[in-house]
Structure 1
Amino acid sequence: MRRRTGLAVAGVAALAWGEWLNWRWSRALVGNSGGAAEAVVVLGYRNPQATANFINRWRVRAGIRSIAADSAYDTRVIFSGGATSGGAAEAQLMADYAKSALEFDGRVILEDQSATTWENITNVIPLLEDVDRIKIASQPAHALKARAYLRRQRPDLAEKLVRADDYRSGEWMVVKPLLALYGLWTLRGLKADERNVSL
């Protein structure tokens, strides 16, 4: 009985830890810029098949729900990701999913040359010059990494970063501890000031 209780407590603690860490990452390196024009950058994930995979479908949904209600007509959604294994570009697969499955009919721009997160940011910068707000949609750790890269490459544009709706309490809860562990590994190169939380 005591062992089962200990396992249950450890399980609850792991879930709470994963939830907290993902919540924290979703609020790091963002501000509260105003203005009418916004860009939502949706980052692709390795996608060798002919349709958007599970992770890319979730990222597209997170990107679409990140569009501010008051700026829906002034928003561009930028799908970023190149081809994997000689197939279609991740950006194209995500855009196809947004249009066919989610019936999204807003403004879409494809950035289909990137192979890494650093390249995602480098290649979308020209598409962000004239917007007031920038949202980056992905899993929270990955989005934070991308925001840090934008801050390194173009600090002036990083001032326009605001939160995307890519963290929701309870969503992916069971796998959030694993996502947190993976996130800690992928974010090991970030500096302390690149993890600052904006509340």
Structure 2
Amino acid sequence: MRRRTGLAIAGAATLVWGEWLNWRWSRALVDNGGGGGAEAVVVLGYRNPRAAANVINRWRVRAGIRSITAGRARGTRVIFSGGATSGGAAEAQVMADYAQSVLGFDGTVLLEDRSRTTWENITNVIPLLEDVDRIKIASQPAHALKARAYLRRQRPDLAERLVRADDYRPGEWIVVKPLLALYGLWALRGLTARERKPSP
């Protein structure tokens, strides 16, 4: 009985830890953001060797679409970013097809289909962000934070326009969040403590 209780407590603690880290990462390097001005949502792709969007890209597209400020679907540009990293179609095109044909998204879509790394994602979307007032980057929280840190390093002026995307929700993917947290700790090892710190 004690063993079961101990395992249950350890399991619950692991889930809470995964939730906490993902919550923390989703709130780092962003501003509270006002409601005005032009908005862009950048959705980062994940390697996708087939023509249909895989489960990770489908989730990222949904997170990107739900990140659009309410009532502004027409005025927000959604930028899908990612090249062909596995010999198939470009990640950007696969995600755009899913957004439009499956989710029925009919807003403004832009494609950046040359990137092979997160650094390149940011480098290549910068020209598409110059004239917007609010920038949201949608992916798993650790990956999105890494991209925000890269934008801050490449273009600190644009990084001041970063606001939160809706890519973290309590309880969503709860079982795999500890694994995402472990991967995130590894993926974010090159970031400074200041870059990982949640914004006030």
TM-score (normalizing by structure 1)? 0.98
Instruction: Tell me, yes or no, if the aligned pair for 2:38 and 2:134 is still in contact at 8 Å.
Output: yes
Matched AA of 2:98: Y
Matched AA of 1:21: L
Larger helix percent: 1
- Give secondary structure in 2 for the equivalent of 1:78: strand
Instruction: Note the alpha carbon deviations across 1:65-88, whole angstroms, 9 max, x for none.
Output: 000014322200000000122211
Distance in 2 between residues matched to 1:163 and 1:7, nearest whole Å = 35
Distance in 2 between residues matched to 1:63 and 1:158, nearest whole Å = 18
Distance in 1 between residues matched to 2:151 and 2:107, nearest whole Å = 24
Instruction: Tell me, yes or no, if the aligned pair for 1:36 and 1:74 is still in contact at 8 Å.
Output: no
Q: 1:84 aligned to 2:85?
A: yes
Unaligned runs of 5+ in 1: none
Matched AA of 1:49: R
Distance in 2 between residues matched to 1:85 and 1:184, nearest whole Å = 25
- Give secondary structure in 2 for the equivalent of 1:71: coil
Distance in 2 between residues matched to 1:70 and 1:151, nearest whole Å = 28
Partner of 1:22: 22
Alignment of 1:28-177 (within 5 A): 28-34=28-34, 35-177=36-178
Instruction: Tell me, yes or no, if the aligned pair for 1:141 and 1:183 is still in contact at 8 Å.
Output: yes
Unaligned runs of 5+ in 2: none
Deviating 4+ runs (over 3 angstroms): none
Considering only aligned residues, what root-mean-square deviation do their CA atoms show, in Å?
0.8
Distance in 2 between residues matched to 1:33 and 1:70, nearest whole Å = 16
Number of residue pairs aligned between Structure 1 and Structure 2: 199
Instruction: Note the alpha carbon deviations across 1:147-177, whole angstroms, 9 max, x for none.
Output: 0000000000000000000000000000000
TM-score (normalizing by structure 2)? 0.98
Partner of 2:192: 191
- Percent identity over the alignment is 84
Instruction: Tell me, yes or no, if the aligned pair for 1:26 and 1:167 is still in contact at 8 Å.
Output: yes
